[in-house]
Structure 1
Amino acid sequence: MGKKELKKYAATKIDILGRSKLVKRIHDMWAANDEVTVDGLLMWSQQNIKFEHGRTIFFHLLGGLGFVFKKKDHNTIVEERPDIVKRRKEFLKKKEELDTEGVLYAYFDETWAHEGMSSRRGWQHANSTMYKRARLVDVDSPMAGPRKGKEKGRRAIVLALLTEKGIVDGSERFNISGGPIQNQKEDYHHEMNAAYFEKYMEETIPLLVSMAAEEGRRVVIVCDNAPYHSRTIKKAPVSNTSRADVEQFLRDHNLAFQREMTRLQLLELSKDFVECNGGAESFKVYYFDTWAEGHGIEVLRLPQYHCFLSPIEFVWSQMKQHLRSKGSVDDSLQTVRQRGLNFLKGFTEEAASKLFRKTEKLECEIREMLWEKQHTVEDSSSPLLYELSDDGIWRPISYVEDDDEDDDDEPLTSDSDLSSFEIDDAGA
């Protein structure tokens, strides 16, 4: 029995409602910042969902429910901020509507590259310290090991637009920074600004307009919420907004006010109106969105901290891996630049399609988790129904009023079916 089949069989050891309760228990422990362990969950399952099997089966059962033991990679506190949760739901809803329409997505982003980008790993003497390596040096072979690749140097800002067809031809930019190396900060974003971004879009939007005409499809640009992407021309009043501007906002939205009201009272009136109508974000009008709309292009912004929903983020990862694998510590920035441009120009439609499918799958998984969270209840008369996917993961598909959902589950004959498998769950 392979690992995938093993997980499937193990997951049948509890019923549908038990699976739902176990998943909810894990989510609750995350929310409470409690450490999730196999032994702790096993004890809880034995007491609360009448799990009657051993640790080995339970370990594989967790895999059948789609859980893995790996390095923690989510900032849950940030991701679960109410405003971010709200924006995530809005993004997924809008994205689903646009998917149905069949629009042509163009994902935009920027990243960096620097001179001397080369492999971070290489064959070396096993002796770990510099002193021990130095003892291995002889006159004929004075190198104690390979030179370490650079982590900093003259830098370039890389920009591009990605569609399902690949990198948009003519959208690639590899602009070399003019600032001295010693003044470069680790975060390259301070070198970008709204004027630079808007100039780039003025040059590349015509390319998208041409593609839209050829495809007979509407174009939607997807970008993140970086400040230089989000220059506002209108927004809701804030604490330092002048009285005249607050009054104009109230007039624009047909809100009555009295002349003798103080500025703070006017602000409070506007604040109540904003909170009752979607929050401050709903009242922002972005310069870029308005300008793009004039060219028949819609702008969709990713929620904060959700860059993993943008396929072009994975392009950057592949590009940097390519630059490091092909590069040398002595490479000039011009050499790195040309190598990077060649990579982007050669990024194939097949490679782009794979990345689009990857992020679409992530979107679907998030929607399913949101659906599950909304519908999971403790009422055993209305259990959550799952289907088992080809990759051995249980996914919620609907809610049913039926006590016989498990009829098709293939049972394990005994715990001995799993006895031949060795488990490496140290630390889990």
Structure 2
Amino acid sequence: MEPEAGPSTGESMQPEPGPSTSKSMEPEAGPSTSESMEPEAGPSTGESKKRRRRRNIFQPQQGSDKIPFTSPTTKRRKTVISSGERSIIINVFKYVTKTKPEDKYMSNHDLVKLTSEMCGVHERSVYNVLNEYRDIHKITEPERKRDRPSVIQKIDNLDKSAIRRIVHSFFLKGELPTLKKIQQAVNDDESLPTLSMTSLRRIMKHLKFKYTKRNRKSVLIDRGDIVSWRIKYLKQIKQFREENRRIFYTDETWVNAGHTVGKTWVDENIKSAKQAFKEGLSIGAKNPVSKGKRLIVVHVGNEEGFLDDCKWVFEAKKTGDYHENMDAPHFEKWFGKVLTKMQPGDVIVLDNASYHSRREERTPTMQWRKGDIQGWLRSKNILYDDKYVKKELMDLVNPVKEKYQSYVIDEMAKKKT
């Protein structure tokens, strides 16, 4: 029943040590192509993949002979240690204590140091966690720090309203409010809290104040008399339009001799002046050397266009505001030329520039000398007492003042009609 020591081609109950092509009840130790009743000793396909996947994380990366887990331990961020992290620290310390070498003495400090290195936590934090666990025998959840209230939350709405009024008080006095001025005013008020510059800046932004470029159009702070004039103008212009009158508008502006547009078309294919010369092209539009002389332009027109032969252009003599180059005598001379182009019933709209509003006769004000006010009253046949002071004389002037306030432009227009 036992096989011979030599090779055989017959069937056998046990395999020979060497390779064979015969059928057998048990698999051979080596590779074989014969069928078998039991699977090979190796892992199945699913288990093999899992093991390979686990082994890969401990194998060096492709092109490198280093394992990534040999790098130094990553330090933990400085934040509150959670209960889960505390549990890990305690378990690591227990493991280090249990597995310490018997032939080598390790103090508690050495064990804590080793735990610190393994967990990536500072030694002081490990001590704190272990001491707490030793005292109360349980792992606690750390207390969360309460959020500090901001300066905006500390100040109530009443104080915020007071700070807003302080800012607007500078506007009402004609001053420009700065953070330094506002801070001084707020800190001087005993009913308001003392604020630093940073806190005040945050409150200003919270109150919707914005540090930006000044806007000359102060529509929101119109005076009452300006609002009244505007309403009167709108009513009159509406009436003139209902009467189908021709309405003309006149104004002044300025332009520099070197004035040009800010944008233009540029050929990006031209890279140099040499290339433009070879191809017979240009390098683009040339910028003016300077702004040049300033010209003042005055005209009059309406929706149908400008009025013929009424353009007035002259060179400015002053470099400041272009209004400084205008004066009443020259404007009135040009306005007389415009009136020759007008028809009966036409309306001309002007703004309130000083050279548009020269009065035919000056009327007294409190800045006048007392003798001048008395002379004006005599010229109007208004009686007064020589013992009157200036205030009493002005009380006689004010009731009749409007009667004698006429403008040169208005009188010129009346004569035309």
TM-score (norm 1): 0.40
Which has a greater percent of helix?
1
Specify which structure has the higher proportion of strand.
1
Higher Rg of the two aligned structures = 2
